[in-house]
A and B are shown apart, each in its own frame.
Chain A
Amino acid sequence: KAGVTQTPRYLIKTRGQQVTLSCSPISGHRSVSWYQQTPGQGLQFLFEYFSETQRNKGNFPGRFSGRQFSNSRSEMNVSTLELGDSALYLCASSLAGGQGEKLFFGSGTQLSVL
């Protein structure tokens, strides 16, 4: 069974640009969450989607957005990139997002903003 797949693996952008990251969850998983990981702030929750609906959102500015498609694949978008957006963006999936379900993480997309 394939794991959580994130593309691209690495990305370099410049300030002011926008970026779209993609996540394919494990087959059968309908909940997808996104996290940002930086050396300074650690792992921080961005948002969670289930059945194409955003169920939960972390404390990030509106420049960070996401969506989920009918096949449970998810994308997140960051507009007007800032230097501080440089981070590892992790996607995680679970069956239905219920507490107690194991969360499976992808290897992440390393975003560098120059």
Chain B
Amino acid sequence: GESVGLHLPTLSVQEGDNSIINCAYSNSASDYFIWYKQESGKGPQFIIDIRSNMDKRQGQRVTVLLNKTVKHLSLQIAATQPGDSAVYFCAETFSGSARQLTFGSGTQLTVLP
């Protein structure tokens, strides 16, 4: 079946720099996208979401960009902090199965001092 995939498995950034995590999705029917953060020993934690009728959404230090033309999603983290070190997953769903999320494979973000 169709699935969400990530471009890079690992990403290392200097503390204070901006981070960009990318995600490619293949299901053109998907209309709702979410980014999750998972720290070691914990379950995924909601970061930010975006609907397909938007191309950008901002939160606190985070921005999600959606490009439906190329089926691409990105998460930007401003002024990356050590506490941002975690695995980041994008997930997609469509209206017909609101609670059945399809997750990407994840990107390990490491923040260097």
Q: Which residues of A contact B (CB under 8 A)?
A: 4, 31, 33, 35, 42-45, 48, 55-56, 58-59, 90, 92, 94, 97-108
Residue B93 at the chain A interface, CB threshold 8 Å: yes
Q: Which residues of B contact A (CB under 8 A)?
A: 1, 32, 34, 36, 41-46, 49, 51, 89, 91, 93, 95, 97-106
**Interface contact A56-B32, CB-CB below 8 Å:** no
Question: Smallest CB–CB gap between B39 and chain A, Å?
Answer: 10
Question: Smallest CB–CB gap between B74 and chain A, Å?
Answer: 19
**Interface contact B98-A106, CB-CB below 8 Å:** no
**Interface contact A107-B41, CB-CB below 8 Å:** yes
Select from chain B the residue with minimum beta-carbon distance to A50.
B99
**Interface contact A100-B49, CB-CB below 8 Å:** yes
Taking A59-B1, A103-B34, A103-B46 as given, write out 15 further A-B residue pairs in contact, using a Cβ cutoff of 8 Å, ordered by the A residue number: A42-B105, A45-B101, A55-B99, A56-B97, A94-B99, A97-B99, A99-B93, A100-B98, A102-B46, A102-B49, A103-B101, A105-B43, A105-B44, A105-B45, A107-B41
Contact A48-B105, Cβ < 8 Å, known A4-B43, A90-B43, A107-B41: no
**Number of A-B residue pairs at CB separation under 8 A:** 61
Q: Which of B46, B99, B103 contacts A43 (CB 8 A)?
A: B103
**Interface contact B42-A42, CB-CB below 8 Å:** no
Across the interface, which residues of B come within 8 angstroms of A104, CB to CB? 46
Question: Smallest CB–CB gap between A23 and chain B, Å?
Answer: 11
Q: Which of A90, A94, A100 contacts B44 (CB 8 A)?
A: A90
**Interface contact A45-B43, CB-CB below 8 Å:** no
Select from chain A the residue with minimum beta-carbon distance to B31.
A99
